[in-house]
Every structure is written in structure tokens, then in C-alpha cells.
Structure 1
Amino acid sequence: MYSSLSSIVHGYSATTLGISVIFCGLLMYAIGKMFGFGARNEFDVEGRTVVITGGSEGMGKAAACQLAAKGANVVIVARTVQKLQDALQDIKRSAANLNRQKFHFISADLTNAAECERLIQETTEWNDGQPPDVVWCCAGFCNPGFFAETPIDTLRSQMDTVYWTAANTAHAALRKWLVPVGSDSQVPLPRRHLIFTCSTLAFYPIAGYGPYSPAKAAIRALSDTLSQEIEMYNGSRQSKTGSAATAADVKIHTVFPMGILSPGFDKEEQLKPNLTKQLEAADKPQTPTEVAKISIAALERGEYLITTMFVGHIMRGSALGGSPRNSLILDTLTSWLSSLAFLQVIPDLRKQAWNWGVKYGLPSSSSK
């Protein structure tokens, strides 16, 4: 995605500044990967129960298989029962130890808040009365198009299937996790994890994703908000007043992939405006397996905002704003370098859109 930025990464433009920015960024990123994080696994899932929405295909299924290989008990959620049944067989085949691990699927419409509450309650009952340890929100699909050319019903549907599936699931999970327990009955429990799946479009949108990118931006805003709010609950467990507190700490994470090769991606390509395809011509979509592997490794390092390729790292750096940093020094340096890179990228994207209009006219006369 973002052919301008990708082109800069590979030597786009003759300016020494652009090239220097990228080489410095690469160096800083490599150093950060080598020295920015400790060896401790911050996301140990062995013997723990993980719920993955959108787990019947794509990134959700790939993450489920990889977490099963690490010893997790896995519950996948989607609407279509047959897809869930087929996916569960693949997940079981990936398991580290079938004799110790458990697997389950739940069919649910996550745009309905009551269904999300049912999902968490059913998982808790299946899990011997204990709520899930990890909830990973992967549900949703992209319906691209120019904003003014897209019916209002489609715009609302995108918000429902992208933002509200995640928000409803997060609300149900947190309501279960944050039930206070008395100080005399508090038993130390491992940290729980709530993971959102977003998109680099939340950092910098691109023409043709008007129905989709606002919903992803809303997920990022929710994640940033929860990353602050959750500390109040986490802090309650250290309170000296002896009052009730939550049973376990909770950590929030958000993953920001770029293109992911999947059945959903194939459908997206059929709807995508030609201008959008031109603007992201240099984007090289990753496989679901690649995205899941990179994301899980970042979770194990304890990262908060997780990107899955170098261009994504640069985009994240350009839009950190008030979000918590994965690495104070590395993210600060990346932010400075990204700001310089985007001095070229932003005008170029706008110019390409203007030139498209000059050449082809309105969307209706240019076949998207």
C-alpha cells in the first residue's frame, strides 16, 4: 500500500534526504529489534484459553493455528458453522498436545452486543467457569469505494462489521474480566490480553477506502482510550485501602497489518477503485501466516501498536500522536524520520488523485 512511500523505501525520488531517511530508519529499526526488548515472553499462551473472532479464515485462523501450536486452548468465532468446523480441524492439527488442549467454535453475529455477551459467557462455561485469558478481535471485512459514491447503508454496515464487532466483543470481555473480587479472595492470576486488529489505514488513509478507514481509525481511538482506562483497574490491585479489585491485570494491544492475502482480500480487489489500486501498486500483501507470526512475536515482546512490515513501521512512526510507545527511543527516532518521509508522500498521493481526475473525469465515467 502507498506506492509513494514504498517507492521512497526503495529509492524513490532523487533526493538525498529521502534515501537518508530510509537508511537511518532501517538502522534504527534493526537496532531496536536487537536491543529494544528483553528476552521475557510477555504473551505466554501455553495452557491458557484464547478467543479469536473472525477465526474461520484468513489472519484469524492463522493466528489460531499458531497459538494452538504454542499450547493454547482455542475458541474461534464467526457466523458460518461449516467454515468454523473446517477451520477447527486445521487448528487441532496444529496443536502442541491434543491430550491437554481443548478447542471449540461458536457461531455468532458480533454486530449484536447480546451475541458478544453470549460468546464470552459460553466460553466461560466451556472453560470450567473461568473467563478466557486472551480475546483477539479479527472479525470484519473491507468494502472499498469512493465515499460520495457509496450508499449510506454500506457506510453504516462497514462501521458495524469493522468497529462494532470489535467494540462489542471488547465490552463483553472487559465486563467479565473487570468484575471486582474481595481483597480476602484475591488470587494472583496471569495477565489477560485484549487484542484489536486494525489497519495501517488508521495511520494514513488512502483514496478509495472511505467506507473502511474511519472504522479502523475508531478502533485505534478505542484502543488508545482503553490503554489508559485499564490502568485504573490494574492499579486497583495494588491499592492499600483493602477494597475490592479486579482478579488480574489486563493489557491492550492493536495490530496494524497492510494487505493480507485471503478470500476477503480477493473480494476487496473486485470492488476496489482503479485509482486506489494505482496508489497502492507497490504494496506487497502478506500471507495470513506471515502476519500472524509477526504479530504473535510482537505480542511476546510486549508491544502495544504492532505493525507487520517496514512500510507499516514508518507509517506508524508518522502517526504516533498520543499513543503509548513500544520503545521510547526507537519510536521517537522513527517518528522524526517518518515525518520527513511524509513530506514527499502526502503531496504525491494528492497529486496522483488530481491527475486521475484530469485524465478520467468523474468516477462514473472512469469505471471506478
Structure 2
Amino acid sequence: MDVNGKTVLLTGGSAGIGREIARQLKAKGAKVVLTGRDPARLEAMGAEGFETMAADLSSAAGVDALVAAVGDRQIDILINNAGLGVPHDVRNLAPDPDAADGCLYANLSAPIRLITALLPRLRARPRAAIVNVTSGLAIAPNTASSVYCASKAGLRSYTMALRAQLAGEPILVVEALPPVVDTQMTADRATSKMPPEECARQIIAAIEGDRPEANVGMVKLLRAVYSLSPALARSVMRRF
């Protein structure tokens, strides 16, 4: 898909991977409308020439408010990138169930609700795309982030089913599976991290190449290990 001239709605576009996706798409000639929760970051992206919308996607009301703000404008590409991470480890203090609910909604329910709302206008375009950003943890979970892993695994399953449902229609359905990327969410991680610029580049390359999956960086190796031995892949990932 040629992204030049396309209108993109990008959630979570004011920081991290999303910010780099926005910048690189703009450089390729796309019109990017991005969402975020932090007013200062949205203002900074606005100063770069992006149209921005404040949106908290951790509830149905937040998703519906975003849909209302989008109005009746055409959308060619929807990128569900916004996400929340939450610690959830019952070996420590009792996890916060409300935080778990917010994570599950933002990472799984919000993309489903947004796709459902915007699918008619995507279908009205000559060519469209839906991009759901999951994680390598959707393939094999780690231990400490069980709720985050579950939400991303759920979105992976939904994306595969959606792709099958839309087979034969001019809508590309892409799942992007990043590894550990150097963002605010991973600031406390001491492991090697991929620069967000490179992660964004590989995701956009998948869109431009009409590829259904963007297995980014080390996720390619994880996929290869999983294809040989799912048990081994799960054992490796549980160490992180």
C-alpha cells in the first residue's frame, strides 16, 4: 500500500513507537491524525504540524468520544497503537483489579470498539488498512506482566479472525509485533531495547509491502523458536 496521500488515524501517537510512526508516515506524504492522553505531548506534536486529539481509551466512553471527535472525515488507515502496561504478579502484593480492567480495555476492547465504529468508512475507501500493534508477548507471555500479555494475545487472536472475515475486501489487516522497545513503558527495564524509530520503520514497511504481519526485530527469532517448540519459546519468555 502506498501511504502517500492517505489519511491515518493513529492512537497513542504522541510518544514512543506511535510518535515515530506518525513522523515517518508524515515524511512519506500521509496526513496523520493522532491521539494521546498527555496535553504537553499533544501540544508538542501539534507544533510539528500534526492534527491531535485528546483521548483516553481505557473506557467505552473514551472510545466513543474519539469517534465523535473524528466526525465524518474519511479514514484510509487505522493504527491501533495506544496501550497500557500494568504490573500483575500475585507472588507480590495483591494486584490492583481496577488497573487490570483498564489495561484490558485499552489494549483489547478499545481497538475492537474503534474498528467496529470505523469499519464502514474504511470499507468506503478504494483501499484501506487496519493495523493492530500487539507484542512479541502475544506469542509467549512473560511472568510479571500477565494481564498485559493476555490483552495482547487477545488482540492477536482478534486480528487473525478479523483478517479472515475481511478476506476478499480491499482492506489490509496487519498485526505488528514489537520486541522490547525503548519507550516510557519500558524505562525500568535493563534489557537491550530496540530504538522506537527502527520499530516504526519496520511496521510501516509491512504496511507498504502489504504484509499481514510485522514481526519486528527479535520477534522474528521468537516466531522461529515457537514454530519449532512452543514449550521452549514459553520457557524462554517466562524468564523476562
How big is the shift at 1:178?
Answer: 4.1
Matched, 1:54 2:15: no
- Structure 1 position 301 matched with structure 2 position 209: yes
The within-5 A match list for 1:120-269 is: 120-125=67-72, 130-147=73-90, 149-178=94-123, 189-231=125-167, 234=169, 249-266=170-187, 269=188
Secondary structure at the aligned position of 1:143 is classed as: coil
The CA deviation at 1:347 is 5.0
Following TM superposition, by how much is the alpha carbon of 1:72 offset from its aligned partner in structure 2, in angstroms?
0.7
2: CA distance, partners of 1:81 / 1:301: 34
Equivalent residue for 2:194, pick from 273, 277, 286: 286
What's the RMSD between the two structures over aligned residues? 2.5
Instruction: Kindly indicate whether residue 20 of structure 2 is the aligned counterpart of residue 73 of structure 1.
Output: no
Whether the 8 Å CA contact 2:222–2:233 is kept in 1: the answer is: no
Compared CA separation, residues 345 and 131, structure 1 to 2 (3 A)? closer
Change in CA separation of 1:153 and 1:111 when aligned onto 2, cut-off 3 Å: closer
Q: Is the 8 A contact 1:257 1:308 kept in 2?
A: yes
User: How many pairs were matched up?
Assistant: 238
Alpha carbons of structure 1 residues 169 and 318: separation in structure 2 relative to 1, 3 Å: farther
CA distance 1:190–1:306, change in 2 (3 Å)? same
Instruction: State the TM-score, normalized to the length of structure 1.
Output: 0.59
Which protein has the bigger helix share?
Answer: 1
Q: Aligned runs of 1:79-90 on 2, under 5 Å?
A: 79-90=37-48
Question: Does the residue aligned with 1:316 lie in a helix, a strand or coil?
Answer: helix
> Which structure has the larger Rg over C-alpha atoms?
1
> Relative to structure 1, is the Cα distance of residues 173 and 161 closer, same or farther in structure 2, using a 3 angstrom cutoff?
same
Letter in 2 for 1:256: L
1:325 — aligned with what? none
Q: Which runs of no fewer than 5 residues in structure 2 stay unpaired?
A: none
Segments of structure 1 that go 5 or more residues without pairing to the other structure are 1-42, 93-102, 180-188, 235-248, 270-276, 320-334, 354-368
- What is the alpha-carbon distance in structure 2 between the residues aligned to residue 122 and residue 345 of structure 1? 42
Query: Percent identical across equivalent pairs?
Result: 25
Between the aligned partners of 1:54 and 1:349, the Cα distance in structure 2 is: 26
Q: State the 1:343 CA deviation.
A: 6.2
Whichever residue aligns with residue 134 of structure 1, its letter is I
